[in-house]
């Protein structure tokens, strides 16, 4: 539970995402592993979070760093063994931390035994386990679909004289969720991990499970300045098919039979309507998140619009929110630049905003330290997206650099002379060990904000009401019964004030004070205030 006594443990919880390659290396090979995760769970517990989300640690050729799975039921030797995972699970549960794991079901690695069989001919037992299609009469791909990492979604297989579908890398062939046997196989994978004791799943690109059966062309998007060909079309037919919801219902049925767990879908890029479709009623997913806050700072008015869309009835679904993860520039860099602040100045403001939102919160490793994005030169890049797109895009390596535990050459992450990605000297200065020793640090600020959220029923699970959203001032209330907590954020470069119609009790602030019945705020500041008397918003 989150300390509120309301709903299941995941409702309003704070989850901590661990990217295993970059968290902690226990054996000195420069790559993080499962034993390293187990060794650092006391740090995770000290934050006050409710659990962890582990990014993929399954057997994989690592062409997309684990999001190309070659065996859904085994651990890649780089990370350890299945027994090592069991040890992580026990260590987390001993600390009262839940564990959810990534499940990448939209596609497999081209190295997966299923695909190796499927690609041989059109008559084998797994011939229809992936999405295959004949070429057009002129030899062109079946349609105009564009992949996320650039180029068509179709690759030619000479053995079958057909194209296979891949929405991402060509080495990530798309499973055919229109095949009953495939859906049953995936449900069996879910059953395996639930039986092992995990507390739920984060479902990678869950809205890409099912494709349009007629393979119709996607319509143009009208994007005036597309960064990639994929942005030039609406992904109407290679994602978001209604049959996906049918599979989601079967998954929820299985999960309901395995205790109090959670499922959270990544919906890419997603929207409120899509998130609502995947989570409304008790027969779909527990929660979902989209990319609303994983891109550019949307501005105060747009942010309020995104947040106020969520209805609050018992069957209206439950949102999740993240500002950073393993796929995007860290928020301390991405949004700080947008509001004209430095990462150290902006990090407490963003953390306070995140912890005040209605929903389940996902915190990315290092976000509690206020880490900026790491600097990775071209010759050190690992991400295929970054390598292919350089210099227009630097890819995702900047958010995946090693976790800084100490201010030393390898940041306390590894005993190796080099880590799989370079250690950024700026991040070392924000190491856990250094911040622990400071009376005031981003690490301590994060703990205070998480503790406040867990201790206050309105913040953890209450309703959400926008009070003001104009200019640089975002103000909203979290409400449960007679408890009303006002959350005020000045995202601009000038001072601001906010007047209360009831007696305010300051619960937390960064560069803001209450004086004469009003909140006086420095530029880029935040405050969380209990309104002692009922007030009309």
Give per-residue pLDDT as tens, 350-372: 999 999 999 999 999 999 999 99
Q: Is 440 a catalytic residue?
A: no
What pLDDT is attached to residue 245? Answer: 94
Spatial contact of 401 and 423, defined as CB atoms under 8 Å apart: yes
CA 161 to chain centroid, in Å, comes to 38
Catalytic residue among 33, 84, 266, 383: 266
CA dist 411 and 40 (Å) reads 14
What pLDDT is attached to residue 7? Answer: 54
214-250 residue pLDDT tens: 999 999 999 998 888 999 999 999 999 999 999 999 9
Beta strand ranges found along 182-341 (DSSP E): 200-203, 262-266, 287-289, 320-322
Q: How far is CA 41 from CA 36, 274, 430, 449, in A?
A: 9, 34, 19, 20
Q: What percent of the chain has pLDDT over 70?
A: 98
Catalytic residue among 204, 292, 373, 383: 204
- DSSP three-state, residue 277: helix
Average of per-residue pLDDT values in the chain:
95
Q: Is 266 a catalytic residue?
A: yes
β-pairing, 360-364 with 14-18?
parallel
CA dist 134 and 147 (Å) reads 18
Provide the H-helix boundaries in 160-297.
180-196, 243-256, 272-279
Question: Residue 313: left (phi > 0), alpha (psi -120 to 50), or beta?
Answer: beta
User: Residue 3's pLDDT band (boundaries 50, 70, 90)?
Assistant: very low
286-319 residue pLDDT tens: 999 989 999 999 999 999 999 999 989 888 889 9
Domains of the chain, with CATH numbers?
Answer: 14-109+180-450 (3.20.20.80), 463-531 (2.60.40.1180)
For residue 90 the two structure tokens come to 């026990």
Q: How far is CA 339 from CA 211, 363, 372, 382, 476, in A?
A: 39, 21, 15, 30, 20
CA dist 174 and 264 (Å) reads 21
CA 383 to chain centroid, in Å, comes to 18
């Amino acid at each position: 539970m989150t300390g509120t006594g309301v709903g299941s443990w995941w409702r309003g919880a704070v989850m901590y995402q661990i990217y295993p390659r970059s968290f902690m290396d226990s054996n000195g090979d420069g790559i993080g592993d499962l034993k390293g995760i187990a060794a650092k769970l006391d740090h995770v517990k000290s934050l006050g979070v409710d659990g962890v989300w582990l990014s993929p640690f399954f057997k994989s050729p690592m062409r997309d760093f684990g999001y190309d799975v070659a065996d859904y039921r085994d651990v890649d030797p780089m990370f350890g063994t299945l027994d090592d995972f069991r040890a992580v699970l026990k260590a987390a549960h001993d600390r009262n931390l839940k564990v959810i794991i990534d499940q990448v079901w939209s596609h497999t690695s081209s190295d997966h035994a299923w695909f190796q069989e499927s690609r041989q001919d059109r008559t084998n037992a797994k011939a229809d386990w992936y999405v295959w299609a004949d070429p057009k009469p002129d030899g062109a791909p079946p349609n105009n679909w564009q992949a996320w990492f650039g180029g068509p979604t179709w690759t030619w297989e000479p053995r079958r004289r057909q194209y296979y579908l891949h929405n991402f890398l060509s080495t990530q062939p798309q499973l055919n969720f229109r095949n009953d046997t495939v859906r049953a196989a995936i449900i069996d994978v879910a059953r395996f991990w639930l039986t092992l004791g995990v507390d739920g799943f984060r479902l990678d690109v869950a809205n890409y499970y099912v494709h349009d059966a007629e393979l119709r062309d996607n319509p143009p998007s009208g994007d005036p300045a597309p960064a990639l060909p994929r942005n030039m079309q609406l992904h109407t037919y290679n994602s978001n098919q209604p049959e996906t919801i049918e599979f989601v219902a079967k998954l929820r049925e299985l999960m309901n039979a395995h205790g109090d767990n959670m499922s959270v879908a990544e919906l890419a890029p997603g929207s409120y309507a899509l998130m609502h479709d995947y989570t409304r009623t008790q027969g779909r997913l527990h929660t979902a998140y989209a990319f609303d806050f994983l891109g550019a700072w949307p501005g105060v008015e747009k942010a309020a619009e995104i947040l106020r869309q969520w209805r609050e009835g018992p069957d209206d679904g439950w949102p999740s929110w993240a500002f950073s993860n393993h796929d995007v520039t860290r928020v301390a860099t991405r949004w700080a630049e947008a509001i004209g602040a430095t990462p150290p100045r902006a990090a407490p403001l963003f953390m306070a905003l995140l912890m005040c939102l209605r929903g389940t919160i996902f915190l990315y490793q290092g976000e509690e330290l206020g880490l900026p994005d790491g600097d990775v030169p071209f010759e050190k890049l690992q991400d295929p997206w970054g390598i292919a797109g350089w210099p227009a895009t630097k890819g995702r390596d900047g958010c995946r650099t090693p976790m800084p535990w100490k201010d030393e050459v390898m940041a306390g992450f590894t005993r190796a002379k080099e880590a799989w990605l370079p250690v950024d000297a700026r991040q070392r200065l924000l190491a856990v060990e250094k911040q622990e020793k400071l009376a005031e640090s981003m690490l301590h600020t994060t703990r205070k904000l998480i503790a406040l959220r867990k201790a206050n029923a309105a913040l953890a699970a209450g309703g959400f009401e926008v009070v003001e959203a104009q200019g640089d001032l975002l103000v909203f209330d979290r409400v449960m019964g007679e408890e009303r907590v006002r959350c005020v954020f000045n995202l601009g470069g000038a001072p601001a004030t906010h007047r209360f119609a009831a007696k305010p009790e300051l619960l937390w602030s960064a560069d803001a004070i209450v004086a004469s019945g009003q909140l006086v705020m420095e530029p880029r500041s935040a405050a969380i205030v209990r309104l002692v008397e009922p007030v009309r918003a």
